[in-house]
Structure 1
Amino acid sequence: MIALILAGGSGTLFWPLSRESEPKQFLPLLGERSLLAETVLRVSALIPPQRILVVTGDSFVERARAEAPGVPAENVIGEPAGRNTAPCIALATALAGARYGGDEVMVALPADHRIGEAERFLAVLAAGAAFCRKERALLTLGIRPSRPETGFGYLEVAEKHAEIDGSAIHRVVRFVEKPDLAKAEEYVRSGRFLWNSGMFLWRIDAIEAALGEHVPNATGAIAAFRAARPGDLGEALAEWYPRLSATSIDYAVMEKASNVFSIPVDFPWSDVGSWSALGELLVPDADGNCVIGPYVGIDTRRSIIHASGRLVATIGLEDVIIVETDRAVLVCPAARAQEVRALVDRLRALGRRSVL
């Protein structure tokens, strides 16, 4: 079994703390270690660091090596441009297949998720790997929804197909995009829908075949990446990476393939996808405020305050997010945390690169 940790992405929804030069996966949002380091340490209890691959942006390779405890330097690979997860997985599939063989099982994990009850999580990975070895399936972990969430994609599952070591495995009927609230409530009531976690398991030969079937140019790209000598990989990437569609593995493969299954899980999980999501993981004070850094407030409730250096002081605020950094300050209603991406787009359009 090997692990692929997907450490690309810019963490736009965590602006202004997350920036182009310091994306979310390298930030210690929930303790002293970065989210990437926490992910590496978590999976290392099941998979030796020597069998962990980390794919990140070219400019972050050295930073990722420093944040990946025990992972050999050559296992941290830079992609020439961020093109979503399908090209990244094609690259890792090529390199892992050359090194470990097509019958090895790969688990693909985002670098920036928070997972509680690590022993249960690792037991699910082990059960999923056993299923993939037998069935050559494409397997995803589906989170049992605890609320009607509009910020996640969902997947619908059929009746139980199999059970391995206490983990039920269901065939996936379909993937669905982020719903409105009424549809999300319907999904939760039905009991057939799970949150799409973005965590996957598959045999290397199974995902390679699926990429070849559903992603244009994937077969040629994988062959070129696999054939490249270590010093020549950059040339192969420069030639083939732009030919791969900049799309997610969910859309490119998982929604189209016929051999897709899911393990429903209910261990504590968060994609730490926004300031509001981070607030759910912090311990609030007596007024319901989640505070990191120097802060004094009067009549301020149910708010998220993150101060990187300067004191933040508030009076008479409720349900707001305030983030102070040395370059910019964000203030917004907590209910509009998802709009931070649009704000970053506005700043980029205005040419305010220094704060991005």
Structure 2
Amino acid sequence: MQPKFVPVILAGGKGERFWPLSRKQRPKQFLCLDGSGESLIQATANRLVPIVGGWEDIWVITSKLLETGVQEQLPSLPVANLLAEPEGRDTAAAVAWASLEIAKRYGEEVTIGFFPADAWIGDAAAFAKTIAAAVELAEHTGAIVTLGITPTFPSTGYGYIQQGIASGRYNDLETYRVDRFTEKPDSATAESFIASGDYTWNSGIFIFTAKIAIDELKLHAPELMQLLIEKGVDIYPTLPKISIDYALMEKTKLTHVIPADFGWDDLGDWNAIERLLKGDNVNVELANHVCIDTTGSVMYASNPDEVVVTIGLEDVVVVRDGDVTLIVSKHRTQEIKQIVNKIKEDRALDRLL
């Protein structure tokens, strides 16, 4: 019996905004950031395994550099289900290649779901219920289904989905046509989106049949698909570098959204750790931290024997990992990626990456 649903974990990201903890061989998805004892990719896989009844039909696509690391992180993953990209070409190429390979094995009628490896989800049962609704919608209507996260604040760091007319009810969840996608709006626009009640955050999770994925990518990303189909994976380094949002989701007329509320965070930078773990505490302390008059801050040290001492600090992130110490204002954590790029320019500092 062919499976009804095949989940694919997108695990090729670099997680540079979590530097210096996230590095080339140990990117964000391999880290445990919420105190659970599971890495992010392990938690993602362990949420999906019960939905499909085992590891046999879980897939992962990652970079060649991280292939061994994924196998170490997920020892139960079948080797044949691990796709290693010769070179990262963003998510459109990853989705296209995985869809073609899965269609070869299972046929084009199988439903595929794509899931970022590095998102935090709080309610596994609500997550599974939402996935079941999305699979049903995709199978019954030929929709490209995305999950929209009910926003809790006017974030300028997330993409937004505007929901249009209602399109049905599946597994007791309302579904809607998508009117438009908006990437990372300014503060005023984000506030207007929240006030309207018509917008959700883009989770980066989407579900469709293999046939719909292949046909729509042929229509909206013909160069990408033609190269992959005619030349195979050897042509990968020459593929257009474009995200699936730009290549497909913003162009297709088939998108539907299911507003979801299962406790979600994309863990985009160190501030996400505060959102998850602060509670009523003055600081988030993932370190042996001794302080005077330090508030609203995040402290992390990978070596529990090292002590972080602070005096008179407010709203900062301090990260100590190996031979690097990072100190940054919480309001400027998005600029960590710029520092990583600057370090890349100095070959003498390559060991820090």
| Range of TM-score over shorter length | over 0.9
Which residue is equivalent to 1:46? 51
Which residue is equivalent to 1:339? 335
Aligned residue runs from structure 1 range 288-327, under 5 A: 288-309=282-303, 310-327=306-323
Task: Mark the CA change 1:190 to 1:159 in structure 2 (over 3 Å): closer, same or farther.
Answer: same
Which residue is equivalent to 1:37? 42
Which residue is equivalent to 2:352? 355
Deviation for aligned residue 1:219: 3.0
Q: 2-side partners of 1:77 and 1:155: how far apart?
A: 29
- Helix, strand or coil for the counterpart of 1:19? coil
Q: 2-side partners of 1:285 and 1:126: how far apart?
A: 35
| 1:18 paired to 2:14 | no
The one-letter amino acid of 1:39's match is T
| 1:4 paired to 2:8 | yes
| Gap runs ≥5 in structure 1 | 226-235
- Helix, strand or coil for the counterpart of 2:168? strand
The one-letter amino acid of 1:307's match is A
The one-letter amino acid of 1:278's match is I
- Helix, strand or coil for the counterpart of 2:237? helix
Q: 2-side partners of 1:269 and 1:285: how far apart?
A: 20
Which residue is equivalent to 1:230? none
Instruction: Kindly indicate whether the alpha-carbon contact (under 8 Å) linking 2:6 and 2:113 is maintained by their aligned counterparts in 1.
Output: yes
| 1:212 paired to 2:218 | yes
Instruction: Kindly indicate whether the alpha-carbon contact (under 8 Å) linking 2:6 and 2:111 is maintained by their aligned counterparts in 1.
Output: yes
Deviation for aligned residue 1:221: 3.9
TM-score, normalising length: structure 1: 0.94
- Helix, strand or coil for the counterpart of 1:45? helix
Aligned residue runs from structure 1 range 185-204, under 5 A: 185-204=191-210
Instruction: Give every structure 1 segment of 4 or more consecutive aligned residues whose post-TM-superposition deviation is greater than 3 Å.
Output: 283-286
The one-letter amino acid of 2:51's match is L
Which residue is equivalent to 1:275? 270
Deviation for aligned residue 1:12: 0.4
The one-letter amino acid of 2:181's match is F
- Helix, strand or coil for the counterpart of 2:56? helix
Which residue is equivalent to 1:93? 99
Deviation for aligned residue 1:69: 4.9
State the identity as a percent: 37
Deviation for aligned residue 1:344: 1.0
Q: 2-side partners of 1:43 and 1:278: how far apart?
A: 23
TM-score, normalising length: structure 2: 0.94
Instruction: Kindly indicate whether the alpha-carbon contact (under 8 Å) linking 1:40 and 1:69 is maintained by their aligned counterparts in 2.
Output: no
Deviation for aligned residue 1:285: 6.3
- Helix, strand or coil for the counterpart of 1:300? coil
Between the two proteins, the alignment pairs up a number of residues equal to 344
Q: 2-side partners of 1:185 and 1:350: how far apart?
A: 41
Which residue is equivalent to 1:252? 247
C-alpha offsets along residues 223-272 of structure 1, whole Å, 9 cap, x if unaligned?
357xxxxxxxxxx322x213321111011100000111100111200011
Instruction: Kindly indicate whether the alpha-carbon contact (under 8 Å) linking 2:286 and 2:300 is maintained by their aligned counterparts in 1.
Output: yes
Instruction: Kindly indicate whether the alpha-carbon contact (under 8 Å) linking 1:52 and 1:75 is maintained by their aligned counterparts in 2.
Output: yes
Aligned residue runs from structure 1 range 62-211, under 5 A: 62-211=68-217
Which residue is equivalent to 1:264? 259
Instruction: Kindly indicate whether the alpha-carbon contact (under 8 Å) linking 2:159 and 2:184 is maintained by their aligned counterparts in 1.
Output: yes
| Gap runs ≥5 in structure 2 | none
Instruction: Kindly indicate whether the alpha-carbon contact (under 8 Å) linking 2:126 and 2:261 is maintained by their aligned counterparts in 1.
Output: no
Instruction: Kindly indicate whether the alpha-carbon contact (under 8 Å) linking 1:93 and 1:222 is maintained by their aligned counterparts in 2.
Output: no
Pairwise CA RMSD of aligned residues? 1.3
